[in-house]
Chain A
Amino acid sequence: MTEIKLTVNGVARSDEVEPRLLLIHYLRETLGLRAANIGCDTTSCGACTVLLDGESVKSCTVLAVQANNRAVTTTEGLVAPDGTMSVVQQAFRENHGLQCGFCTPGMVMAATSLLAENPHPTEQEVREGLEGNFCRCTGYHNIVQSVLAAADKLSGSASSSAEVTA
């Protein structure tokens, strides 16, 4: 067993873990943070995406021990104490960017990281930025719409809200 100390959604944690414990299982089973999901076994689908020191990572391919001394953020942590969702989360709601919801937490974290690195993405950049996040329900149309809307809102853009084009 290995001891890890890290913060998760701003809360300090200290746990003893098996070296092979995947970060996704640490979050879900040890901490009870079950928003992030497991959708594949080849690091393909991104349903497990969380932020590690602010950057999106696939938590199924990170060992919990690799998160030692780091900060992890999940969708649960994007919600303010008063219950207000983040701009990205709100944009997904307003633009029907989710249906069954399974890919959604991972999609939200990937989008959050994407916009932190590229605040004014084009539609193509959004699609490429989400190439590691699979969705079966939405056909991606409204997901892209959601991210562009969030970008507009975050950058306080005065221009008309971006729309997904063909």
Chain B
Amino acid sequence: MSILGTRVLRTEDPGFLSTGAVYTEDVQDERLAGACYVHFVRSTVAHAKINSIDTSAAKDADGVIAVYTAADLEADGIKPLKPMAPFMNQAMLQTLLASDTVRFVGEPVAAVVTEEIYQGEDAIELVDVDYEFLPAVVNMNDALAGEKGLLFPTAGTNLICTFGDASASNKDLFEGCEVVASETIQNTRVAPAPMESRSAAAVWGEDGRLTAWIPNQAAQGTKGSVVAGLGLKAEDVRVITPDVGGGFGAKFGADPEVLVTCWVAKQLGRPARWSETRMENLLGMTHGRAQQHKITIGGMKDGTVLAYRLEVIQDCGAYPKAGAFLPSLTILMTSGPYNIPRAESWSWSVVTNTTPVGAYRGAGRPEAAAAIDRAMDLFADAAGVDPAEVRRKNLLPKFTEPHKTAFGAVYDSGDYVTALEKCLAAADYEGLLAEQAKRRASGDTLQLGIGLSSYVEITGPGGEAGGPNENGTVEVHPDGTVTVLTGTSPHGQGHQTVWAMIVSQELGIPIEKITVKWGDTDLIPKGGGTGGSRSLQLGGAAVQQASRELLDVARERAAETLEASTADLVFDTVTSAFSVKGDPDISVPLSSLAGTERLFVRSVFTSPGPTFPFGTHVAVVEVDMETGKVYLRRVVTVDDAGTVINPLLAEGQRHGGIAQGAAQAFLEEFVYDEDGNPLTATFADYPFLSATEVPGYELVDMETPTSYNPLGAKGIGEAGSIGSTPAVQNAVIDAVSHLGITHIDMPTSPQRVWRAINAANGSKEA
């Protein structure tokens, strides 16, 4: 009986629940004894020249060991960070501490180092920065137009890069369309806000090597960022990944504060530690989404879509980070799961005087889904066709052989219509429509809205030449235990349990005897980490492959031991032993084959390409017509990510994604005023979702395997967050569509909804 596909409880949990996981701030290591504490002075203005920084009072304060500014870093030869890709404007440099200009509120300006933690917040207040205001460019449209100022005068523009080609636009794209609808919509900026904010602990050994404990999603990539950012040699750096309290895309690489902490440890010849406050996290950790979409969709009155155009502006914040690159994924997924004969898209990535934008659960793909599904509803409304019917009509029919889209994405397998029908049935779509009609007829204060999204998304992409890949090492020890090394980097996903399940299935060794390790670059020098929902389909497949190859090695040894040919041997996973065919009494346990020589295999699994999970979400909301408040009542989803290895964990991933996606649609947004001052820089102000704002989620099962790996698995981690945002937004608009409202931007706050209702009612009291 296979362990795969069963609800195995996590082996991580007893520790997590009792003494707690060990996050970077918790790490107690003798190498960190006597550590000093790093704190940052941060800009309180969005855009300004720095005339001077007076550190004298801070230097004299209790317990202050040192105060550093950009000048100190420069004197030590530390170079500014360059944008991550060569096609990004290379003049947009970021010094680790602001040098002559600050470009966003929260940008680190000085580092204050103290003996004790509590002294830090006292000391940073004493640093006096003389700012000379510059006009702040906060709106991405202003940034693109360039008339309100440039963040980087030497760059000559606020444009970082583009994808697609606006000049190649087909001006006849919508020819022959009976119905055309167009809207400019926002995909609002949000804060990833993992519960564990950023941290680092660093020490330089007498051997000249840096050991750094850093919460991250890919230790090898983080090490690369440390090496590059501080101009070090790769062999001199070791990154260790403690338990990580959530990442959601924002814990890749190494942020300036992490680099400064490592650098401080070197300067002072003493271990250094840093942990940020939540306010620093909301300002200093990269934000997510922040795209503006101009969507135009056209087709026939019978609901057939013929053409779609998507124009994207990506607000990247003050310095080009991963955010600048994400529109390329948005463009790749422009047409989603739909069969649209003529579609085109392009994007501009611009800098603004706000927190830099990075990856956030879905990273470019939720944006594409939100755009196309908003467009589908706009079209449905304009054509007078039911939104479910529009989707039914235009979804790509089921395919089992890879399907290439006009945007170059090769979808591996898909059955979008079945996902739609299963989800509609589970939601009782007809019943919901009837309830909605009833409430409309009686003019209920609480109107019902039903929103749909059918999505497909790309997971497990690789940047590497030769296709997406990951390594796994499996070693069987003589005592019957197993050690697994993986290049993935879990931060809540449960790889310790699931990789153990996979190995257990192959080797017949119980999961309690299997230890999974990750995140130590001395132990595992190569790895792609955990992001883009890549881990199971690449990392899980790698440990499965390594286990199978290990059995091949073991089989050779068993053949020698049993004096038989390998072809005559069978491996029994129940006993975890080899025996001669037909003679089960003559057997040799797998672990005994590690007695004289180590028994381990390192294997690299390479996938033919990324995989494409898909699904449909149906969201049901109630809208209070007098106040505009939205109540999320139901979220029903199909999220098909192929074979499910541990349903308990897969459900958890779906729940978490749904919550984040829904939150963006009706609750969360990171807000700046027109001067670039953040208005949502604490958890009291930023409307972070709590348990009272969401219902339980209704998950429908569907598994369409991929042929790209033996597990048949695609990536589930981000799927939930892709369908839920458009489903919830569409539901809110649907709730008030009988008034003629066709669009409300996300988040559908009470004020936005009320204003729409008011406008529709001609400003009469609602």
Contact residues of A: prevailing secondary structure: loop
Q: Is the CB of A78 within 8 A of B695?
A: no
Q: Which of A63-71, A134-142, A152-160 contacts B (4 or more CB under 8 A)?
A: A134-142
A37-B196, A96-B10, A100-B245 are known contacts. Are A128 and B692 too (CB-CB below 8 A)? Answer: yes
- List the B residue with the shortest CB-CB distance to A139: B659
Q: A134: which of B118, B690, B695 is its contact (CB, 8 Å)?
A: B690
Which B residues lie within 8 Å of A134 (CB)? 195, 683, 688-690
Q: Is the CB of B19 within 8 A of A35?
A: yes
B116 to chain A, nearest CB (A): 10
Q: How many contacts between A and B, using CB within 8 angstroms?
A: 192
Q: Which of A75-105 contact B (CB under 8 A)?
A: 75-76, 78-79, 85, 89, 92-94, 96, 98-105
Q: Is the CB of A108 within 8 A of B195?
A: no
Q: Determine whether B277 belongs to the interface, using a CB cutoff of 8 Å to chain A.
A: yes
Q: Determine whether B244 belongs to the interface, using a CB cutoff of 8 Å to chain A.
A: yes
CA separation between A92 and B13, bound complex, in Å?
9
| Interface residues as binary, B660-688 with A (CB distance below 8 Å gives 1, 0 otherwise) | 10000000000000000000001110001
Which B residues lie within 8 Å of A127 (CB)? 691-692
Which B residues lie within 8 Å of A165 (CB)? 695-696
A45-B683, A100-B245, A134-B688 are known contacts. Are A139 and B18 too (CB-CB below 8 A)? Answer: no
Q: A34: which of B20, B277, B635 is its contact (CB, 8 Å)?
A: B20
Which B residues lie within 8 Å of A79 (CB)? 18
Q: A102: which of B196, B493, B648, B694 is its contact (CB, 8 Å)?
A: B196
Which A residues lie within 8 Å of B688 (CB)? 44-45, 134
A42-B683, A96-B649, A130-B690 are known contacts. Are A136 and B18 too (CB-CB below 8 A)? Answer: no
Q: A96: which of B195, B277, B278, B651 is its contact (CB, 8 Å)?
A: B651
Interface residues of A toward B: which range? Answer: 35 or more
A34-B26, A102-B246, A130-B691 are known contacts. Are A138 and B655 too (CB-CB below 8 A)? Answer: yes
CA separation between A78 and B193, bound complex, in Å?
29
B244 to chain A, nearest CB (A): 7
Which A residues lie within 8 Å of B279 (CB)? 41
A102-B23, A136-B248 are known contacts. Are A45 and B195 too (CB-CB below 8 A)? Answer: yes
A37-B23, A102-B195 are known contacts. Are A138 and B652 too (CB-CB below 8 A)? Answer: yes
Q: Determine whether B12 belongs to the interface, using a CB cutoff of 8 Å to chain A.
A: yes
Q: Is the CB of A143 within 8 A of B652?
A: no
CA separation between A145 and B660, bound complex, in Å?
19
A151 to chain B, nearest CB (A): 15
- List the A residue with the shortest CB-CB distance to B724: A139
Which A residues lie within 8 Å of B9 (CB)? 93-94, 96
Q: Is the CB of A131 within 8 A of B692?
A: yes
Q: A166: which of B19, B660, B695 is its contact (CB, 8 Å)?
A: B695
A101-B245, A141-B655 are known contacts. Are A36 and B20 too (CB-CB below 8 A)? Answer: yes
Q: Which of B707-721 contact A (CB under 8 A)?
A: 720
Q: Determine whether B133 belongs to the interface, using a CB cutoff of 8 Å to chain A.
A: no
Q: Is the CB of A98 within 8 A of B696?
A: no
CA separation between A37 and B494, bound complex, in Å?
20
B450 to chain A, nearest CB (A): 14
Q: Is the CB of A101 within 8 A of B656?
A: no
Q: Determine whether B491 belongs to the interface, using a CB cutoff of 8 Å to chain A.
A: yes
CA separation between A104 and B688, bound complex, in Å?
17
Q: Determine whether B697 belongs to the interface, using a CB cutoff of 8 Å to chain A.
A: yes
CA separation between A165 and B697, bound complex, in Å?
8
Q: Which 7 A-B residue pairs are closest in the complex by CB-CB distance?
A: A139-B659, A35-B20, A102-B245, A100-B492, A99-B492, A164-B696, A44-B683
Given contacts A28-B26, A40-B683, 16 further A-B contacts (CB under 8 A): A37-B245, A93-B10, A99-B652, A101-B12, A101-B13, A101-B21, A102-B194, A128-B691, A131-B690, A134-B688, A136-B195, A136-B656, A140-B659, A144-B696, A165-B696, A166-B636
18 CB < 8 A contacts A-B = A37-B195, A40-B682, A42-B278, A42-B683, A44-B688, A45-B195, A45-B688, A89-B18, A92-B13, A99-B492, A100-B195, A108-B17, A127-B692, A134-B689, A139-B655, A140-B655, A141-B696, A166-B634
